């Protein structure tokens, strides 16, 4: 069974870029508008957004209609919340503040069906309430993307990237700069060294480096690609609206 997640995984493994965006507002309709814009994936932000699990499930339906893979950024490495979201059709999980390979393995086992892991098996929307149960059980693997956003995460990045179930490392620039004592300052030697480490371990393990280009401007997107990032979140629903209508305030 080929899923959109499998297509994105193949794109990344062949060294190409995959572009998505962040969803922070509890609106399936707005999510569907973004899904019509050519993104590969859209991430429901359950860490900082105002979206419930129930609304996330409706968003999954809205974006799937347009061939877009629904991802979720979890509020924490909560394996049981991850199971619920996967059962509702989530195809990729971005996990914040990952600081050890061992902890990520423990989490990831809950996202993979036996024998690879120990995800609970049930009939749900993710397997069309049983219609595609056998295919999902044997061939589906969600994209798993740990976020590296602390000193401890950088120290463990090589071990985390080497895990076979990891598809990409997603840099959290604001939290990482805060971890170095200078929130929002991306010009420090510590931050530059951290960026270099992420790119080094991703190159060595064949994993994709990821980042969020917060401002929805194409020059910024091109710059992130030029820096070697390949799993790129390009703006968000709220930022896109602000960017378009901000000139009214001038």
pLDDT at 212: 95
pLDDT at 139: 84
pLDDT greater than 80 at residue 2: no
Domains recognised in the chain with CATH numbers = 4-249 (3.20.20.60)
SS (H, E, C) 112-142: CCCCCCCCCCCCCHHHHHHCCHHHHHHHCCC
pLDDT greater than 70 at residue 226: yes
Higher per-residue pLDDT: 120 or 230: 230
pLDDT greater than 70 at residue 82: yes
247, with CB counted inside 10 A (0-12, 13-18, 19+), is exposed
pLDDT at 122: 87
> pLDDT tens-digit profile of 22-65?
999 999 999 999 999 999 999 999 999 999 999 999 999 999 99
How many CB atoms sit inside 10 A of residue 34's CB? 23
Catalytic entry in 14, 48, 66, 212: 48
pLDDT at 1: 44
pLDDT at 128: 85
Q: What is the distance between the alpha carbons of residues 156 and 98, in angstroms, rounded to a whole number?
A: 9
65: left (phi over 0), alpha (psi -120 to 50) or beta: alpha
pLDDT tier at 250 (50, 70, 90 boundaries)? confident
pLDDT greater than 70 at residue 214: yes
> pLDDT tens-digit profile of 176-208?
999 999 999 999 999 999 999 999 999 999 999
Is position 48 annotated as part of the catalytic site?
A: yes
Q: What is the distance between the alpha carbons of residues 43 and 31, in angstroms, rounded to a whole number?
A: 10
> pLDDT tens-digit profile of 139-152?
889 999 999 999 99
pLDDT tier at 127 (50, 70, 90 boundaries)? confident
Q: How do strand 168-171 and strand 18-23 relate by DSSP bridges? A: unpaired
Mean pLDDT of the chain: 95
């Amino acid at each position: 069974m080929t899923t959109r997640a499998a297509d994105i995984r193949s794109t990344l493994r062949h060294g190409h870029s995959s572009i998505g965006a962040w969803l922070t507002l509890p609106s399936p309709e707005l999510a569907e508008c973004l899904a019509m814009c050519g993104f590969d994936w859209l991430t429901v932000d359950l860490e900082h957004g105002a979206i419930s699990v129930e609304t996330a499930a409706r968003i999954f339906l809205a974006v799937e209609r347009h061939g877009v893979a629904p991802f979720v950024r979890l509020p924490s490495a909560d394996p049981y919340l991850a199971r619920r979201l996967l059962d509702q059709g989530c195809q990729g999980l971005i996990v914040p503040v990952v600081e050890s390979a061992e902890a990520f393995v423990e989490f990831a086992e809950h996202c993979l069906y036996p024998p690879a892991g120990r995800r609970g098996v049930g009939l749900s929307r993710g397997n069309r309430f049983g219609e595609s149960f056998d295919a999902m059980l044997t061939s589906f693997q969600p994209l798993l993307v740990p976020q590296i956003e602390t000193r401890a995460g950088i120290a463990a990045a090589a071990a985390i990237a080497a895990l076979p179930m990891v598809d990409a490392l997603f840099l959290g620039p604001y939290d990482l700069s805060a971890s170095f004592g200078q929130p929002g300052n991306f010009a420090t030697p510590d931050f530059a060294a951290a960026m270099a480490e992420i790119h080094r371990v991703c190159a060595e393990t064949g994993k994709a480096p990821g980042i969020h280009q917060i401002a929805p401007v194409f020059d910024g997107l091109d710059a992130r690609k030029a820096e070697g990032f390949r799993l790129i979140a390009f703006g968000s629903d709220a930022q896109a609206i602000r960017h378009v209508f901000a000139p009214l305030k001038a």
